[in-house]
């Protein structure tokens, strides 16, 4: 991972200034002569800036986002614990999606890139992509927001607040509980039926129970409680219309050719949210992935996703 320190203070939407902000990032492949082969990948809430780890069937040599063809950039979002400035307690200022995008913008300048051929991201990463495409309409040639929204829903905020309640109740162990709660929104009824149903006649120690415990512990062992708290609040802040007081007007500013992708079983970011995006972004189309994995389908259904991206990018 590489890292830069922003030369100027970062003025947040709240008005608070952060000094010496660090942005961690990865790059793969090489810039071509006219710098027209840039792909910017946006990671999700607990992801990191190395998509070869969490999206290996999408990004890499010979994949649909071929690192032999494209110069791929992925930056660790402000507030994350994987290389960028992160909170160390509950006294960190509120950060928003727009604040995170401001960091990406300064990294773009550092890399001397003026235009991005493809921007792609799912979930919270998709929120950042949309915000940036509204802020800088001429930056992207193509954007692919996946399983995301223009305004975070009351449903999504309620899930996030419930997780933060678990963290605030027990800052040491609450992250595991928060993650277990989140899994209920990331997956789907059918996911659990297919993978965690017990075939015997047990009355306790259910597979679904141990699965939830495992997922909670796994995240607790690798992620920061404070980062999770503040990143979930940043996700809740998503509203591309905040600066212009109208979401539809904001989306109409996007000039990039757009493919909006939804997942038919996603209960956290339902396809109605992606259809709304496709309706109000000029030159946008909507496509749907069929999956029993719910919201996490964008990380799992790589064959469907690769084909949709291929069809979109082909002349």
Q: Torsion angle, CA of 311/312/313/315, rounded to 10 degrees?
A: 80
Q: How far apart are CA 123 and CA 73, in angstroms?
A: 18
Catalytic residue among 43, 117, 152, 295: 295
- 221 labelled catalytic: no
Q: Which of 266, 287, 256 is nearest to 40 (CA)?
A: 256
Tokens matching residue 264: 């038919």
Q: Is 275 exposed, middle or buried (0-12, 13-18, 19+ CB in 10 A)?
A: middle
- With 0-12 / 13-18 / 19 or more C-beta atoms within 10 angstroms meaning exposed / middle / buried, residue 188 is buried
220: its two tokens: 């607790």
207 as an active site residue: the answer is: no
- Catalytic residue, chosen from 123, 185, 227, 291, is 123
Q: Do residues 256 and 141 lie in contact, with contact meaning Cβ atoms separated by under 8 Å?
A: yes
Burial 197-212 (b: 16+ CB within 10 A, else e): eeeeeeeeeeeeeebb
CA distance 136 to 133: 5
- Check 84, 99, 188, 266 and give the catalytic one: 266
Q: Which helix (H) or strand (E) holds 212?
A: helix 207-222
Closest to 268 in 3D by CA, of 202, 211, 188, 194: 188
152: annotated active-site residue: no
The pair phi, psi for residue 67, each rounded to 5°, is: -75, -5
C-alpha to C-alpha distance for 129 and 40, rounded to whole angstroms: 9
**Residues carrying an active site annotation:** 123, 266, 295
């Amino acid at each position: 991972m590489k890292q830069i320190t922003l030369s100027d203070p970062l003025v947040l939407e709240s008005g608070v200034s952060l000094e010496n902000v660090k942005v961690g990032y990865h790059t793969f492949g090489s810039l071509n002569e006219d710098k027209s082969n840039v792909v910017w990948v946006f990671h999700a809430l607990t992801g990191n800036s190395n998509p070869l780890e969490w999206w290996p069937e999408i990004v890499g040599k010979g994949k649909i986002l071929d690192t032999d063809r494209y110069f791929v950039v992925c930056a660790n979002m402000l507030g994350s614990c994987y290389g960028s400035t992160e909170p160390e307690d509950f006294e960190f200022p509120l950060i928003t999606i727009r604040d995170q995008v401001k960091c990406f913008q300064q990294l773009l300048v550092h890399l001397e890139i003026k235009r991005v051929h493809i921007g792609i991201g799912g979930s919270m990463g998709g929120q950042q992509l949309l915000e940036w495409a509204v802020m800088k309409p001429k930056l992207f040639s193509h954007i692919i927001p996946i399983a995301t929204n223009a305004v975070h829903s009351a449903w999504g905020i309620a899930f996030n607040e419930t997780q933060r309640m678990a963290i605030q109740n027990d800052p040491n162990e609450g992250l595991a509980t928060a993650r277990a709660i989140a899994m209920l929104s990331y997956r789907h009824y059918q996911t659990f039926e297919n993978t965690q149903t017990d075939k015997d006649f047990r009355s306790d120690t259910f597979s679904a129970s141990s699965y939830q415990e495992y997922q909670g512990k796994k995240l607790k062992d690798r992620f920061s409680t404070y980062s999770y708290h503040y990143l979930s609040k940043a996700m809740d802040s998503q509203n591309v219309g905040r600066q212009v007081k109208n979401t539809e007007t904001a989306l109409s500013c996007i000039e990039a050719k757009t493919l909006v992708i939804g997942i038919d079983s996603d209960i956290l970011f339902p396809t109605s949210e992606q259809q709304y995006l496709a309706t109000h972004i000029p030159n946008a189309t909507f496509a749907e992935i069929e999956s029993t994995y719910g919201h996490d389908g964008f990380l799992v259904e790589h064959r469907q996703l690769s084909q949709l991206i291929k069809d979109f990018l082909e002349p």
